[in-house]
């Protein structure tokens, strides 16, 4: 494992360079604001008159249409959604690239699956913060940072890694540590984690637990508390100190239940299905299906999303959360002000 920190940064690598942030969503805003506050020259590439344009101007950034921002930049960070990147690169970015420029991504999908093939003569790198954009920004403002992954796909100048590290430092990432990886490893592990554990696996576990209790006649409100509400408490403990901290904070009864019943629910057959998910990601099956789904106008995607939103746990949870004032950011702000 190679981990980089502040002392590893060459602060001259991006000196005098203009950085274009293409896209101003969660990550785009965090990257642009952190880099600007770190002293870098930043221009935000967004559609004129759109929400991103307006918000970037409110945040004090120089803004331009994506094509103009890319032409003015030495480093172009593509921070739009995966499925928009191929057309954006083809129609806007490719003509703006000059020998010696750097093309930066925060996720490896477009490069790994061949949706974008940059020309020789430019650096192609990745800096992937391991946190949502809002947290990337908040931790920077606290004088800290979130861990990042770094990868180099193409090193045309001999300075690709140094430029990527300087970019990560501008985000605050080298305060927490930057782990070196590759585009394939980041892409595959990121997709697998989302599908098998963090989003797909976790949400299905919650839904099936809720259904098991309610179908057995237990109140949906009680089932919600036990299968969804308290999940955050456990995840927070695990994030802070791994399994050891979680086990040290739960009751002896909960621990014994963990040991004897966890493997009954998630067993070796579950792991085999996880391996099948991993295989589909590795061989490109998932990527091809997702690309075709977008090209078809997202009919299955929309239907599956609506099915989740229509699940009884959503109605139950909405009513219960309305009584939890601490979950309301406005309430928290008013409480702090008073």
CA distances from 280 to 187, 233, 238 (A): 13, 32, 29
Does 45 carry a binding-site annotation? no
Does 86 carry a binding-site annotation? no
Nearest Cα neighbor of 313 from 205, 224, 202, 222 is 224
Does 154 carry a binding-site annotation? no
User: What's the sign of the alpha-carbon dihedral 284, 290, 293, 295?
Assistant: negative
Does 240 carry a binding-site annotation? no
Active site residue 331: no
Does 261 carry a binding-site annotation? no
Does 25 carry a binding-site annotation? yes
CA distance 173 to 195: 26
Nearest Cα neighbor of 56 from 72, 45, 68 is 45
Nearest Cα neighbor of 324 from 235, 246, 232 is 232
Does 158 carry a binding-site annotation? no
* Residue 146 backbone dihedrals phi, psi, to 5 degrees: -110, 150
Does 133 carry a binding-site annotation? yes
Identified catalytic residue from 31, 107, 112, 169: 107
Does 239 carry a binding-site annotation? no
Tokens 């036990």 -> residue: 226
Angle at 264 between CA 254 and CA 315, to 5 degrees: 70
Does 24 carry a binding-site annotation? yes
Does 194 carry a binding-site annotation? yes
Nearest Cα neighbor of 123 from 89, 170, 162, 71 is 162
Binding residues for NADP(+) are 24-27, 47, 133
Binding residues are 24-27, 47, 133, 190, 194, 226, 230, 251
Binding residues for substrate are 251
Q: Any idea which residues carry the catalytic annotation?
A: 107
Binding residues for Mg(2+) are 190, 194, 226, 230
């Amino acid at each position: 494992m190679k981990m980089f920190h502040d002392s590893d940064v060459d602060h001259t690598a991006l000196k005098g360079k203009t950085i274009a942030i293409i896209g101003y969503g969660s990550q785009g805003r965090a990257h642009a604001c952190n880099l600007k506050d770190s002293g870098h020259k930043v221009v935000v590439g967004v559609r004129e008159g759109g929400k991103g344009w307006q918000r970037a101007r409110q945040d004090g950034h120089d803004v331009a249409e994506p094509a103009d921002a890319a032409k003015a930049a030495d480093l172009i960070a593509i921070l739009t959604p995966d499925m928009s990147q191929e057309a954006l690169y083809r129609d806007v970015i490719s003509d703006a690239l000059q020998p010696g420029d750097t093309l930066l991504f925060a996720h490896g999908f477009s490069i790994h699956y061949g949706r974008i093939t940059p020309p020789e003569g430019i650096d192609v790198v990745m800096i992937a913060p391991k946190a949502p954009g809002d947290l990337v920004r908040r931790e920077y403002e606290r004088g800290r940072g979130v861990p990042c992954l770094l990868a180099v796909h193409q090193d045309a100048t001999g300075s690709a890694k140094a430029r990527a590290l300087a970019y990560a430092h501008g985000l605050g990432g080298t305060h927490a540590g930057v782990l070196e990886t590759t585009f394939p490893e980041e892409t595959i592990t990121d997709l697998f984690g989302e599908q098998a554990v963090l989003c797909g696996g976790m949400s299905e576990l919650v839904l099936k637990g809720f259904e098991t209790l309610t179908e057995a006649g237990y109140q949906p409100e009680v089932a919600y508390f036990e299968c969804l509400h308290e999940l955050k408490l456990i995840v927070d403990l695990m994030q802070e100190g791994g399994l050891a901290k979680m086990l040290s904070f739960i009751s002896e009864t909960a621990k014994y239940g963990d040991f004897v019943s966890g493997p009954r629910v998630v067993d070796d057959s579950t792991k085999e299905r996880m391996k099948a998910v991993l295989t589909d990601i590795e061989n490109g099956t998932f990527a091809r299906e997702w690309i075709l789904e977008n090209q078809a106008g997202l009919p299955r995607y929309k239907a599956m999303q609506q099915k989740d939103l229509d699940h009884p746990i959503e109605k139950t949870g909405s009513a219960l959360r309305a009584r939890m004032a601490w979950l309301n950011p406005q309430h928290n702000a008013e409480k702090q002000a008073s």
